[in-house]
Structure 1
């Protein structure tokens, strides 16, 4: 029997859309107890996630289930990484990138059943100047634009935010100041004028889809995607190519695979970044390094190792 604890962020996007937080706690507790686990839960008010998580970690549970958006999950990953305590992700946010990446169903009851039966596997974490990144860190026009509508529409549906992004792409892209990035890495050095760059642990899947999805969770590498698009039309074309799974063939996208990377800007001392859905102000130089197997997560072997699953079936 494993000892588990659920921490649910009261201010998550799911709560803003009317999901009953207390009802979620009851559902998760019931499912885990039916599966033979000990389960307790805490509803955490805004701004208290770190404090409460540190308290829970001090009790040395086997697993902590995090109910919240990607920002909450990233915060938890930073604290749980290296402890040996497994983290489960309960999708309570807007995009729920981490949950999607780890194969967790988006329906709460189904997610609870999945997590109660899942195994704990170690995965890589991307350290971004001391911040834990599970999904993606984005520099350029997107953090600027997202900061505006997130303040206004926190907790909205992901597809509504995607439509707003596309509708405002032209004006936002044109107004955004470019970054004059240079990078040094063990995968090569370079420089570019860019209005969009993304850095992920592992890499993006080269399959069709609107929402970014990662693979190579235990590769020991990070991948940098540095866009050199000069116009809204070319940026829109890049988005279209991504949705079709053709982004790695885009001539206006430079890909760098590395284990560590240093970013500098010849004209700025800092910039805004979106790290797993949260807007941060990062100072240059920005240091990125992959932390192999740093965090244990609840998922399935089929999600982490799809190639092995395919080989077994054939």
Structure 2
């Protein structure tokens, strides 16, 4: 697999995948801004609008194929889920990758210092150089921010339902999380095998959360956050607790103190294998969330750092 950074010339065409279902901005205004900035710069470009989320992955693969044939740059315009889908297609293609954030939290773009506005972000694409970004994998499915199983995917599903009813905002996301925790949750028994160690350990938890985003981990107070820059991911497990204790952990996370809680354990790793601790479960499917998107994946689950990076167009480090 290619490990050298792509070196598109200053006239490389830009292929934008715009998900009109992401974020709260007006999709027509976003599209007009992207096309205006690129046209004023005299840059060849192709903008593909996704109005059917179910087709996002197929469209992303098609766009990456066209960009690769022409030595182009692939850009994802949307929230973390859209960025994830396009990154899945870009990884290993040899194409440089750009991001125009349109989501609610935008952890990926904020971590890498990408502009929050569409106009500034589009202008950055014209001058930025590709820099390596670590990618997480679960059964070869990409995650740039986090992956999880157990309670957290349920939180995401409920959050999406609340957003459709009350709108997209961080306050709505927080409120939906509180309501989900108050309804109770199922506990998991998992066998974990870490970094090739054949002696598995058993873990009882309500949720297993795998972090690949330093900003998110720092915000909730996980001490392993700096290790993401050393080729590691961070695993976080919540020991079984009652509803009130779970709400207390939620508050600790909001104040950046989750990592110090007695009911929370965390550790860094490069690779772990996770298997539900029930006989006959191998090969069965389990619900997993990757960057806010829910999927059913076959067990065992293998979480690891991808052998090649994503080459992201972003500002030079300060």
- Regarding TM over 0.5, the answer is yes
Partner SS, residue 84 of structure 1: coil
Shift of 1:131: 0.8
Return the alpha-carbon distance in structure 1 between the equivalents of residues 45 and 133 of structure 2: 24
1:295 aligns with 2:302: no
Partner SS, residue 208 of structure 2: strand
Select which of 65, 71, 81 maps to 2:91: 81
1:126 aligns with 2:136: yes
Partner SS, residue 301 of structure 1: coil
Select which of 248, 261, 264 maps to 1:237: 248
Shift of 1:122: 1.4
Match of 1:153 in 2: 163
Shift of 1:285: 0.9
Return the alpha-carbon distance in structure 1 between the equivalents of residues 194 and 312 of structure 2: 28
Shift of 1:36: 5.8
Equivalent residues in 2 for 1:1-314, closer than 5 Å: 1=10, 2-12=12-22, 14=23, 17=24, 19-35=25-41, 37-46=43-52, 47-59=54-66, 60=68, 61-151=71-161, 153-154=163-164, 156-171=168-183, 174=184, 176-186=185-195, 189-201=200-212, 203=214, 207-208=218-219, 218-267=229-278, 269-302=284-317, 309=318
Shift in CA distance, 257/159, structure 1 to aligned 2, threshold 3 Å: same
Match of 1:306 in 2: none
Shift in CA distance, 118/244, structure 1 to aligned 2, threshold 3 Å: farther
Shift in CA distance, 66/208, structure 1 to aligned 2, threshold 3 Å: closer
Show CA shifts across 1:151-186 (max 9, x none). Answer: 453462232121221244222xx2x21110121012
* Aligned alpha-carbon RMSD (Å): 2.7
Show CA shifts across 1:205-226 (max 9, x none). Answer: 664469xxx7655422111111
Show CA shifts across 1:251-289 (max 9, x none). Answer: 222222111110011136443222111111223211111
Shift in CA distance, 55/206, structure 1 to aligned 2, threshold 3 Å: closer
Return the alpha-carbon distance in structure 2 between the equivalents of residues 84 and 254 of structure 1: 38
Partner SS, residue 133 of structure 2: strand
Contact 2:220 2:257 in 1 (8 A): no
Shift in CA distance, 215/117, structure 1 to aligned 2, threshold 3 Å: farther
Gaps of 5+ in 2: 1-9
Report the number of matched residues. 294
Partner SS, residue 245 of structure 1: coil
Q: Greater shift after overlay, 77-86 or 187-196?
A: 187-196
Gaps of 5+ in 1: 303-308, 310-314
TM-score (norm 1): 0.83
Shift in CA distance, 153/119, structure 1 to aligned 2, threshold 3 Å: same
Return the alpha-carbon distance in structure 1 between the equivalents of residues 259 and 135 of structure 2: 22
Return the alpha-carbon distance in structure 2 between the equivalents of residues 231 and 223 of structure 1: 24
Contact 1:201 1:290 in 2 (8 A): no
Q: Greater shift after overlay, 62-71 or 229-238?
A: 229-238
TM-score (norm 2): 0.82
Shift in CA distance, 43/216, structure 1 to aligned 2, threshold 3 Å: farther
Return the alpha-carbon distance in structure 2 between the equivalents of residues 184 and 44 of structure 1: 39
Match of 1:312 in 2: none
Shift in CA distance, 116/248, structure 1 to aligned 2, threshold 3 Å: farther
Return the alpha-carbon distance in structure 2 between the equivalents of residues 256 and 301 of structure 1: 30
